[in-house]
A and B are shown apart, each in its own frame.
Chain A
């Protein structure tokens, strides 16, 4: 797991707070992802960045705002969240080449609790 790091590991925030999740990958990959993992639900892809450009946004509410300043760093900015947003947020990275499919490497996740 040292290839992809996430901070903080745990976060408790009120519905009116603003916070950010950080992800950093040390693998030289060119694509990064945010996933949401809720209890008893499949893993939900939220955002994909390839070569620092957003290529996927699966109808995620605007209270989640991603930022990818370079190929090694990915942020998820949070504001005015709802209790149902409480979940484990996972960051992943992979090397994307046209026609070649590589596995994704995941960070340990941030456990978010919205009160």
Chain B
């Protein structure tokens, strides 16, 4: 079955330190990968995507993610975390095999501590 895993419910990081939010996906054709962020009482906001091309993708607010086909991963990273980055982060995947919908991970709550 097509699935997306975010293995960490919560990630804590000190302000100024690098952050990583993990995402892995099941293999079922070519994946199209997305990261979204959700602030309290708000909808999901698009951060970045990988469709094809360079494995390192840069997105909004200084975030980036690296597509790793051999490890079936698409981890979200930022070199220096800000307190304002504290939010809920969702990884989402869509596969090119058939007319598949976007499948979301369960989300990872990021807390950046001053």
- B108 CB to nearest chain A CB (Å): 12
- B24 CB to nearest chain A CB (Å): 15
Is residue A107 contacting chain B, with contact meaning CB distance below 8 A? yes
Q: How large is the interface on B (under 10, 10 to 19, 20 to 34, 35 or more residues)?
A: 20 to 34
Is residue A32 contacting chain B, with contact meaning CB distance below 8 A? no
Which residues of A (56-115) have their CB < 8 Å from a CB of B? Answer: 56, 90, 92, 99, 101, 103-109, 111
Bound form: Cα–Cα A107–B38 in Å: 11
Bound form: Cα–Cα A6–B42 in Å: 11
Binds A, one of B62-70, B77-85, B97-105: B97-105
Chain B: which residue is nearest A94 at the CB level?
A: B102
A56-B46 contact, Cβ under 8 Å, with A41-B106, A103-B34: no
- B16-48 CB mask vs A (1 if < 8 Å, else 0) is 000000000000000010101000011111100
Q: Are B104 and A43 in contact (CB under 8 A)?
A: yes
Q: Are B51 and A101 in contact (CB under 8 A)?
A: yes
For the A-B complex, the count of residue pairs with Cβ-Cβ distances under 8 Å equals: 47
A42-B105 contact, Cβ under 8 Å, with A101-B32, A101-B94, A103-B49: yes
Chain B: which residue is nearest A90 at the CB level?
A: B43
Is residue A21 contacting chain B, with contact meaning CB distance below 8 A? no
Residue in contact with A4 in the complex, picked from B43, B90, B105, B107, CB distance below 8 Å: B43
- B37 CB to nearest chain A CB (Å): 11
Chain A: which residue is nearest B42 at the CB level?
A: A108
Kindly list 9 other residue pairs between chains A and B, CB separation below 8 angstroms, not including A103-B46, A105-B46: A1-B43, A4-B43, A43-B90, A45-B102, A101-B32, A103-B34, A104-B46, A106-B36, A111-B41
Q: Which 5 A-B pairs have the closest CB atoms?
A: A106-B43, A43-B104, A106-B44, A101-B32, A42-B106
A residues lining the B interface (CB < 8 Å): 1, 4, 6, 41-43, 45, 48, 55-56, 90, 92, 99, 101, 103-109, 111
B residues lining the A interface (CB < 8 Å): 32, 34, 36, 41-46, 49, 51, 90, 94, 96, 99, 101-102, 104-107
